[in-house]
Structure 1
Amino acid sequence: MYKRLPRIILVGVGRFGVHHERVLKQFHKVGKIDLVGIITKSQGPRLTTNLLKSVDAVDIVTPASTHYRLVKKCLPYCHVFVEKPLALNSKQAKELLSLAKRYNHSLVVGHIYRFHPVTLKLKSLIKNVNPKTCEVTGRFISPVETWRGEDPAFEKLHFFDVVDFLWGEKPDIVWTRGTNKIKKINLRYPNGVLANFVLGWQDEIKERIFTVQSKNKIFDCDFQTGSIIIREGCRHKTVLCSMKPDPLERELEVFRQFLTGQTVIVPKAEVGLKIIQIAERATLKAKKLSRPKIAVIGGGIFGLTVALHLKNIAEVTVFEREAQIMQGASKGNQYRHHMGYHYPRSRETISEIKLATSDFEKFYHQSIIRSFPAYYAIAKKGSLTLPKEFMKVCDEMSLPYEREYPPSEFLNADTVGLSLKTPEAVLDYDYLVRDIKSRLVENKQIKIKLKTEVVGASLSEDGQKILTIKSDNRRYKDSFDFVLNTTYVDHNNFCSWLGFKERNLEFRLKEIAIIRLSKTLPRTAVMIMDGPFATLVPLGNSDLYTFGDAPLSIHKIGRGHRDLLKLKKVLNKTKSHWPEMKKRCREWFPFLETAEYVNSMFVILPIEKNSLKDDARPTEVTDHSFGCFSVLSGKIITAVSVARKIKTMIQ
């Protein structure tokens, strides 16, 4: 544009303007520009027409509320560099863009993070990464004492621009929740990128963290330290980015080069408008919902417990495909009131159980049966946990026990190396169902839709969840503010509908036999650990027991959606393995000689494949973004703590 030194005026030397002043004075000193003047409210020349005609560009670093007026005044006469945001709204930004085109002057917006060395390095690192596999998270947080009433989506919009710089996309979907000081913003882009940002002011925190997670690598970027940690499996390496020159120096140097006619790329008004439009959508959709509409998919113990906890803050609808509540995995199990003995190779699972116990017992205390002992034994052969290791875990995790064997009818003591008597209780399933039904009757604001299946879901451009619902051979759609999926077996279906990351699940068609023992035997629970063994647990207050044989209870194993469909088709046609179970387990359990087979429960259970090595069963609560949550768990005892957690997340 100009072969001579560009003549520039700086307008504003406030909080950030002083840094522009520093850089421009440095450029002036070394002969890169001619800094004609510095204008503030109280000092410097007035921004007159004659002055504007005498310069090549104006650098505007004033409060955002003044940008529109000042840019509009300058554009007819010279080029303009203005700090972000370009204007307070897209209407103003569009007008400024039109003015720039009319007067053939360039309008450049100061999106400084495009020039940060971390951003530049990250772009080179991910250039060959498929964006469809990328999930972006970021936290742009400042100390609350620095808040001046600005909206987080406008004041902290840097990460919107970083995504635009990396991929050049405008989001299809924007969804926001939060407060006037801090917002959580979810965005989905046409190329498949999913971005989740937390922006605003909180406590004394200052964070500038931006992470890109691809299929095989994670790039953890810290803009404060100028570092990128690249993680790949168990390996990682740190890349340190030079902060000299600093981002502002880089940015203003590129603008200077642009003014002198060099071929460089600058973020012009089109970019500024795009970022404002994203910020507007994030701001407009952050309206506070007095009573949001919440859909709960699945009428089992987790779905119903969550519904009961949300009833006072939301309009809750529970969708259950069966004719009754508490079916599926909530019914097809042995109803242990877990204390942790069952997971000797996963201290994480034991800790979670211990933390969840108090909440569950306060909420469902009358459903707990403690009228008989539960014995945990370690087999002499084939156990993955040795007797000493099992006792060590119990001691370290404060799990009470006595070294004692059950009556000889229940266990052949010669086959085990250790037997511990424990106070682990069971749940009365029938009472639990009656209890929940009575609570639902009392809480009319919870709508229960039985024989109603959610068969699809999508997101609108403002992040509303549109569910496709099947009932009585008809299909219809309904929209919700939040959706909670508690159907374990359909976890990945839910994720695929909405474009969320699926889990690496293995599906097991499992049998739990129901048997009757001699009335002369005392009610007793016996579990042989830890491997291909078996368990016996009293069934509520009845004279029946549930019986599980670790290898023979598993009829089929599937992986993926097609296998799951096949398992569903054969679920109710599966023939019991009881004769084989009885024959295989007689060496441990003498009572099997006279046990009477009653029937069996069959259920499809998903297992996280990564958990198979240590048999961990942590409850997984996933915040997918856009107000969508999933629960994946194998332990009823965590239902109440999960419900409280989800309520907190939604509030």
Structure 2
Amino acid sequence: MSASTSPYDAVVIGGGFYGAVIALYLARQRGFSRVCLVEREHALLQRASYNNQARVHNGYHYPRSFTTAYRSRINLPRFVRDWPEAVKTNFIKLYAIARRNSKVTARQFERFCRETSAELERADASLRALFEPRLIEDVFLVREYAFDSSKLAAWAMREISEEGIEVRLRTRAETISQMPGDLLQTALRDADGKSSTLAARYVFNCTYSGLNQFGGDFPGTRTQLKQEVTEMALIKAPPELENLGITVMDGPFFSMMPFPSRSLHTLSHVRYTPHFHWNDERGIDPYARLSDYHRESRVDRMIRDVGRYMPAVYGAKYVDSLFEVKTVLTKNETDDGRPIFFERHAGLPRCFSVLGGKIDNIYDVLEKLDAEPLDAPVAPLQSTFSR
């Protein structure tokens, strides 16, 4: 086993979008001169940052969680400003309210949008004609966007390289342990089985579904997490739908969103997208469960149900499915809230675990980090996301 010769200021475990942005934040905003980013995949942003609906939320999705909706309203314009090349805006986004089994009526949805200052107008007759009127109460035109995860990954690699942040790909962190003094030790194993250790003053655990999969002195998260194996179907939309993003809500319904990195659409369904779930526990590796899972698509059932509300979807062509582990806070299952999870571990006070349910939550994480008294010399402020 080899060890680094001098300690790092920080080790960031997890090379998804959150891990990449946090590594850059530490270098640029907090003056950390030695940062190492550790990722088990062959490249950055390959797991949950890629295998998702690619939606930049603007609050509409959360009529039962005002706080989540409000934060999305604040964060969307910031995200568009900071990553304009990765944001797709040139499509029409519709929210349709179901007549039956919806947890929100059209009138309630309009009131909710007024209260959150979210832009909303009734869709014109040509757009409403896409929906079965016996099942859909009303259809609204909204402002919501999609992101291209491939472009975000290219941005992350470029900025991290320019900043001199060390990246270790195809490497898994196995333990986090307290060393004498204020240092933490992270034990690593690469894809060839070679082990090594890194000493650092801080460790940031940004592993999403893998938050609790560490040995050593890592105490685990206090907040209970739920894991789900999910399927995001990728479809080629028929001509009538190819320039649209559509969500039918709020309950056992569906979304169809542009997926810019592959010029397709995702199709997700509240009933069929989750394949199975379990309560997160140490020792139950979510990614191993996903790897062992027989990935039989449910896209036929999705399209069959979606077609009742939006018949044009029957003309869609199925291309592929993205299977991934989705992690949520158990306490937010009933209200659909998606707050960030940010925890400094009492037993390892220089170790932080971070989880976000939406890409725009990154700003909530950065605000939390701003409030932390990290004892590194602070460099002159500059844009965290400068190009």
Common topology (TM > 0.5): yes
Give the equivalent residue in structure 2 for 1:413: 133
Give the equivalent residue in structure 2 for 1:529: 249
What is the CA–CA distance in structure 2 between the aligned matches of 1:495 and 1:605, rounded to whole Å? 22
Post-superposition offset of 1:333? 0.8
Post-superposition offset of 1:640? 4.0
Post-superposition offset of 1:330? 0.5
Post-superposition offset of 1:492? 2.4
Kindly report which structure 2 residues correspond to 1:391-410, keeping only aligned pairs within 5 A, or say none: 391-404=110-123, 407=127, 410=130
Give the equivalent residue in structure 1 for 2:236: 516
Give the equivalent residue in structure 1 for 2:383: none
Give the equivalent residue in structure 2 for 1:582: 303
Q: Does 1:617 align with 2:333?
A: no
Q: Does 1:627 align with 2:350?
A: yes
Other structure's SS at 2:103 match: coil
What is the percent sequence identity of the aligned residues?
A: 26
Contact 1:620/1:631 (<8 A) preserved: yes
Q: Which has the larger radius of gyration?
A: 1
Contact 2:175/2:215 (<8 A) preserved: no
Tell me the alpha carbon deviations over residues 222-265 of structure 1, each in whole angstroms, 9 at most, x when there is no partner.
xxxxxxxxxxxxxxxxxxxxxxxxxxxxxxxxxxxxxxxxxxxx
Structure having the larger proportion of residues in helix: 1
Contact 2:173/2:214 (<8 A) preserved: no
Give the equivalent residue in structure 1 for 2:161: 441
- The amino acid that maps onto 2:360 is I
What is the CA–CA distance in structure 2 between the aligned matches of 1:455 and 1:332, rounded to whole Å? 24
Contact 1:485/1:494 (<8 A) preserved: no
Post-superposition offset of 1:441? 2.8
Give the equivalent residue in structure 1 for 2:380: none
Kindly report which structure 2 residues correspond to 1:113-128, keeping only aligned pairs within 5 A, or say none: none
Structure 2 unaligned residues grouped into runs of 5+ = 1-6, 376-387
Is the alpha carbon distance of 1:641 and 1:567 closer, same or farther for their aligned partners in structure 2, counting shifts above 3 Å? closer
Is the alpha carbon distance of 1:465 and 1:562 closer, same or farther for their aligned partners in structure 2, counting shifts above 3 Å? closer
What is the CA–CA distance in structure 1 between the aligned matches of 2:198 and 2:123, rounded to whole Å? 57
Q: Does 1:375 align with 2:94?
A: yes
Contact 1:492/1:503 (<8 A) preserved: no
Q: Does 1:549 align with 2:266?
A: no
Q: Does 1:306 align with 2:22?
A: yes
Give the equivalent residue in structure 1 for 2:63: 344
Structure possessing the higher relative contact order (Cα contacts under 8 Å, 6 or more residues apart): 2
Candidates 381, 385, 388, aligned match of 2:104? 385
What is the CA–CA distance in structure 1 between the aligned matches of 2:130 and 2:283, rounded to whole Å? 38
What is the CA–CA distance in structure 2 between the aligned matches of 1:503 and 1:494, rounded to whole Å? 16
What is the CA–CA distance in structure 2 between the aligned matches of 1:487 and 1:565, rounded to whole Å? 12
Contact 1:296/1:303 (<8 A) preserved: yes
Is the alpha carbon distance of 1:454 and 1:566 closer, same or farther for their aligned partners in structure 2, counting shifts above 3 Å? closer
Tell me the alpha carbon deviations over residues 554-595 of structure 1, each in whole angstroms, 9 at most, x when there is no partner.
111112337943763344641111112122221012122111
Other structure's SS at 1:525 match: strand
Which 4+ stretches in 1 moved above 6 angstroms?
none
Number of residues of Structure 1 aligned to a counterpart in Structure 2: 360
Candidates 227, 250, 254, aligned match of 1:507? 227
Candidates 350, 361, 376, aligned match of 2:80? 361
Contact 1:495/1:502 (<8 A) preserved: no
Post-superposition offset of 1:518? 2.6
Tell me the alpha carbon deviations over residues 165-184 of structure 1, each in whole angstroms, 9 at most, x when there is no partner.
xxxxxxxxxxxxxxxxxxxx
Post-superposition offset of 1:493? 2.7
Is the alpha carbon distance of 1:360 and 1:543 closer, same or farther for their aligned partners in structure 2, counting shifts above 3 Å? closer
Contact 1:359/1:641 (<8 A) preserved: no
What is the CA–CA distance in structure 2 between the aligned matches of 1:389 and 1:362, rounded to whole Å? 31
Give the equivalent residue in structure 1 for 2:382: none
Candidates 265, 286, 294, aligned match of 2:10? 294
Candidates 209, 220, 225, aligned match of 1:489? 209
Give the equivalent residue in structure 2 for 1:568: 288
Is the alpha carbon distance of 1:479 and 1:563 closer, same or farther for their aligned partners in structure 2, counting shifts above 3 Å? closer
Post-superposition offset of 1:628? 1.2
Post-superposition offset of 1:611? 0.4
What is the CA–CA distance in structure 2 between the aligned matches of 1:311 and 1:580, rounded to whole Å? 47
Is the alpha carbon distance of 1:495 and 1:643 closer, same or farther for their aligned partners in structure 2, counting shifts above 3 Å? farther
What is the CA–CA distance in structure 1 between the aligned matches of 2:24 and 2:161, rounded to whole Å? 11
Tell me the alpha carbon deviations over residues 373-432 of structure 1, each in whole angstroms, 9 at most, x when there is no partner.
211111111111222221111110101110115636743233111211001111122222
Structure 1 unaligned residues grouped into runs of 5+ = 1-290
- The amino acid that maps onto 1:632 is L
Post-superposition offset of 1:520? 5.7
- The amino acid that maps onto 1:431 is K
What is the CA–CA distance in structure 1 between the aligned matches of 2:98 and 2:216, rounded to whole Å? 42
What is the CA–CA distance in structure 2 between the aligned matches of 1:494 and 1:354, rounded to whole Å? 35
Contact 2:290/2:324 (<8 A) preserved: no
Other structure's SS at 1:493 match: coil
Give the equivalent residue in structure 2 for 1:424: 144
